[in-house]
Structure 1
Amino acid sequence: MNHFKKIRTMLSAQGLDALLLTEEANRFYASGFHSAGTDGVALVTVDKAYYFTDSRYIESAVRQVEGAEVRLMGRGRSYSDLIGEVIAGHNIRRMGFDDAYMTVADWRFYREKLSCELVAATQLLLELRRVKDEAEIDAITGAQRITERAYAQIVEEIRSGVSEQEIAARLQYLMLHFGAEKMSFDPIVVSGPNGSLPHGVPTERRIGEGEFVTMDFGCIYEGYCSDMTRTVAVGYATGEMQKVYQTVLEAQRAGIAAARAGITGAEVDGAARRVISEAGYGEYFGHSFGHGVGVEIHESPNASPGAKAPLPAGAVISAEPGIYLPGKMGVRIEDLLVLTEDGCRDLTRAPKELTIL
């Protein structure tokens, strides 16, 4: 899966002769080939695509990169030399670059070495990446299924006395065991009073009876991320715990019911936020309802109070309201949604009614 053609069709409308992609996620989005960090360059012109990499990746790139000419960097030929050859060969005058990712040092270097104007073009990439095609949705769905298999197994293992770190380690093992390439982020596992930390780091704390355990985790499959949060109770759940959980679940359902292409992210967020506010917990929901998921775990578009632009059909966003009571507990429930013209499709199949282990 690559998007050279999709990028190429957008260049002329942006007044660009080419697009230079040096950042890992954008490089992968264009080429469908993964190399770490700065170890590669994708370059798309109006009539041809190129992929440059070094000796560590060249053999794999030749086999895997389709629709582009692959060239070797090294042996006296730097990335700037290879880019310069394409600039000369295609008479490139204006070349876009991923300005939100490129360092100032790299920008200065390329500006001095390349004989063309460098034009900020991150917005072009964001517009392209925010709408997923079917192959991308299939990859995200595959990652989600792996995540759900890990969840189904971990709930059989959680009990009083197990530590947050043990659960986090086990989740990572299970996702890799079930076919993940790697984690889409470090798992969040928080229990009891630590649950009020939305992005808390797993600790050696051992879970006790009558406590919530919140697990936020995901993996990468075929280059695309999954993201899921489930909160379970161990032993029993108090009346207050049940009230908080049910409020979050109802808020998530309200946001999902509102989610569709054409309305703003703020409207989706607001549908969920009203439920939490009306239940008296408004000050304890500090983050947004959701964010885009794709090649990166956080990307455009967002479903947040400040998101005023209409959401596009084909976007994949998380649905993750939460309530966090400092020093007491926290609950978050998260699914992944694909937005359509008349609603949304929930990619997540894992059960989310309150589970008491």
Structure 2
Amino acid sequence: MANEKIERVRQILQGKGLDVILFFSSENLLYLSGYTGGEGILGIAEDEVWLFVDFRYFEIAQEEARDCEVRLLKKGLKEVREFLRERNFKKIGLEAKAITLFEFEQLHDPAFDFMPLSKELEALRVKKTPEEIRLIKKAVEVAENAFKEILKVVKPGIREIEIAIELEYQIKRKGSESLPFQVIVLSGERTSLPHGVPSEKVIKEGELLLFDFGARIGGYASDETRTVFLGEVEPELKRIYEIVRKAQQNALKVIKAGLSFKEVDEAARKLIEDAGYGNFFGHGTGHGVGLAVHEYPSLSPDSEGELEEGMVITVEPGIYLPQKGGVRIEDLILVKKDGVEILTKLDHHIQI
């Protein structure tokens, strides 16, 4: 499998007329070599592959990295620059979204012709193999089992941060290797913050609770959001909940291989706009999930591209009313030739 992945990189190499492509993200280091250390640089050329790591990661890289030569860095990126110069490489592709300006300055050499690569590399991981899908499904199962434990203890009088800490603990206790992102637990008017941070706020009867959470298995992430009713909530919040639910169902009904990213977003967004809440839905309808919790594609009004069979994406419309409250429902789905397989299994309507 690793050889096949590297060969796909070499097709990009040849198509762009490059001598070597350098990867910097932990996700691509894992995907292309099996190395889990996170920090390092992977170089793929026509006939050779190298993984550069410093002393802290050298032993584990030697144990884990497949189909590549592991090289010990003693002088940082300047040493990589010298290595490339010795190989007489001129045209060098860079994983543009993962290299910092500082790192680029250390690599820079007048003899090199750098080419930033983004979409070309994003496409490498977009279609999931059966094994990748199995790992994502397991991550979903772990996260949902943890969430079910949390629902047993949620009650008025508990702080958001207490619930978040317990949820994170349960996710790890159930088997997650790490947290793919910081758990979001928001209540009341704070649910209008799409990516708010759990606070000292005490939750109250009659409020909405918003949970955004996931797990990681074999490097692969899950991502799911549920909006929970703590008792009876006011009519407008019930109304926007139903609008979001229907918007998500609209999107799920149309999704299949070949549909444009824009069309998925439009299927959810139009219903929200027609209900008069378009100005309160300010993010895309979904995104890809895999080794990174946010990866290609993005499902938004200006996204370019089409769904492919084997993509794993979120569908997560929302409405956020400042100082009042917000609703988001997020499911993880597998794109099929003629529809979807919904990977997340929790009920949508949850009332405590």
TM-score, structure 2 as length reference: 0.92
Q: Which has the larger displacement, 294-303 or 98-107?
A: 98-107
The match for 1:280 among 261, 273, 276 is 276
> Can you give the 5+ residue segments of structure 1 that lack an aligned partner in the other structure?
none
Aligned to 2:108: 111
Cα distance change of structure 1 residues 100 and 82 upon mapping to structure 2, 3 Å threshold: closer
Between the aligned partners of 2:322 and 2:298, the Cα distance in structure 1 is 26
- The equivalent residue for 1:42 is 42
Q: Distance in 2 between matches of 1:53 and 1:312?
A: 35
1:334 aligns with 2:336: no
1:243-268 deviations in whole A, cap 9, x for unaligned? 22222111111111112222221111
Q: Following superposition of structure 1 onto structure 2, how do residues 136-175 of structure 1 map, counting pairs within 5 Å?
A: 136-175=132-171
* 1:346 alignment partner in structure 2: 342
Which string of whole-angstrom CA distances, capped at 9 and with x for unpartnered residues, describes residues 301-350 of structure 1? Answer: 11111113222332221111112222222111101122223222211111
What is residue 30 of structure 1 aligned with on the other side? 32
Specify the SS of the correspondent of 1:179: coil
Instruction: Quote the Cα distance in structure 2 between the aligned partners of 1:193 and 1:342.
Output: 39
Native 8 Å contact 2:77 2:107 kept in 1:
no
- Report the Cα offset of residue 236 of structure 1: 2.5
Residue-by-residue CA offset, 1:189-210 (whole Å, 9 max, x unaligned): 1111111111111111111111
Instruction: Give the letter for the 1:65 counterpart.
Output: A
How far off its partner does 1:99 sit? 2.3
Task: Indicate conservation of the 8 Å contact 2:81/2:107, yes or no.
Answer: no
Letter of the structure 2 residue corresponding to residue 21 of structure 1: F
Change (3 A) 1:78 1:329: closer
Aligned twin of 1:14: 16
Query: Match of 2:225, SS?
Result: strand
Q: Is contact 1:259–1:344 with CA below 8 Å preserved after alignment?
A: yes
- AA at the equivalent of 1:32: G
Shift of 1:238: 4.0
Mind listing any 5+ residue stretches in structure 2 that lack a counterpart? Answer: none
- Calculate the aligned-residue CA RMSD, in Å: 2.1
1:65-110 deviation line (CA, Å, top 9, x unaligned):
1111212222xx6554356446645x53322111233222322321
TM-score (norm 1): 0.90
> What residue in structure 2 maps to residue 95 of structure 1?
92
Amino acid at match of 1:26: N
Whether the 8 Å contact between 1:196 and 1:328 is mirrored in structure 2 is yes
Residue 44 of structure 1: CA displacement? 0.9
Kindly provide the CA deviation profile for residues 103-123 of structure 1, in whole angstroms up to 9, marking residues without a partner as x.
22322321228x543222223
Query: % of aligned pairs identical?
Result: 37
The answer to whether the 8 A contact 1:259-1:268 is kept is: yes
